[in-house]
Amino acid sequence: MTRVEAQNPKNSGGDKPWKAVVLTLFPDMFPGPLGHSLAGRALAEQRWILDAVDIRASATDKHRMVDDTPFGGGPGMVMRPDVIDASLRQTVADAEDSGYRLPLIYLTPRGRAITQSRVHELAAGEGMILLCGRFEGIDERVVEAHEPEELSLGDFILSGGEPAAIALIDACVRLIPGVMGSDESPEEESFEQGLLEYPHYTKPRIWDDRAVPDILLSGHHENVRSWRRDQAERITRERRPDLWRRYAETRD
């Protein structure tokens, strides 16, 4: 197991930091982007903890094999159930020994799409254990035995679960209290109110013969809020009719 250690703990005298444990064949992929910007600073301050578990360490043969050919034929390889089961059981036991009871999530294209509401739920808990598949996926018997929550980053295929794990962890970490600079920032972002986010502008006031909308310079806060809501509704209606239908139903 690889642990990214904090140098300036913020939680040493109080609650446990939020914890992400990633089971992967490539632990060196972590923290990766999570070691930078907001997530990286929060990691250094131990507002959250990241453990990367090498699944291959649970292999018992001399070649440390973690995959084999699929029964029934077909292309590719499948991750072995005995190796993944051993890694999962040890990881869960280690987490419980350190006082954590974490939900198990398997990142797979066949899972339910990750939503902002689910991110909020995960961020509000103690953390999560993420299982990253590779090759053609993992033996189905592991899924049956451990019953993980199956989540997907979207309707496309990645080489493995690691990029999806990084994205999900980042989405959760930024919601941990104290990570973002302004407590109001998340509330107006895409998906928080069921809408895509409105357009943003900054200096210079005129760029490439394009001017900032006058209403944003008016100083009339209520009109600005109304304009932003109108823009968010327009963009959502045009670009994401599925989101717009849900938003319209809720509003009605």
Last residue of a domain, which of 124, 142, 173?
Answer: 173
Task: Report the range of poorest mean pLDDT among 5-19, 44-58, 206-220.
Answer: 5-19
168 and 190 share one domain? no
Q: Which residue is listed with tokens 């972590």? A: 30
Report the share of the chain in percent with pLDDT over 90: 85
Residue 36 lies in a domain: yes
Number of domains in the chain: 2
**Average pLDDT score over residue span 175-195:** 74
Residue 155 has pLDDT above 80, yes or no: yes
Query: Can you give the CATH number for the domain in which 229 is found?
Result: 1.10.1270.20
Does 178 map to a domain? no
143 assigned to some structural domain: yes
In this prediction, residue 188 carries a pLDDT of 59
Residue 5 predicted with pLDDT over 70: no
Q: What is the pLDDT of residues 53-110, one digit of tens each?
A: 999 999 998 889 999 999 999 999 999 999 999 999 999 999 999 999 999 999 999 9
C-alpha closest to that of 170 among 17, 26, 15, 36 = 36
Please indicate, yes or no, whether residues 103 and 142 belong to a single structural domain of this protein: yes
Are 149 and 106 in contact, with CB atoms under 8 Å apart? Answer: yes
Residue 150, pLDDT > 80, answer: yes
- List, in sequence order, every residue forming a beta bridge with 88; answer none if it has no partner: none
Residue for token pair 């970490």: 173
Which residues form the domain of 86?
A: 2-173
Exposure string (b/e) for 146-180, b if CB count within 10 Å is 16 or more? bebeebbbeeeebebbbbbbbbbbbbbbbbbeebe
- The count of other CB atoms within 10 Å of the CB of residue 120 is 14
Residue 176 pLDDT > 80, yes or no?
Answer: yes
User: Does residue 223 form part of some domain?
Assistant: yes
Residue 149 lies in a domain: yes
Q: Give this prediction's pTM.
A: 0.88
Rounded to an integer, what distance in angstroms lies between the CA atom of residue 91 and that of residue 172? 20
Q: What is the pLDDT of residue 44?
A: 97
Same domain (yes/no): 194, 167: no
Asked if pLDDT for residue 191 goes beyond 90, the answer is no
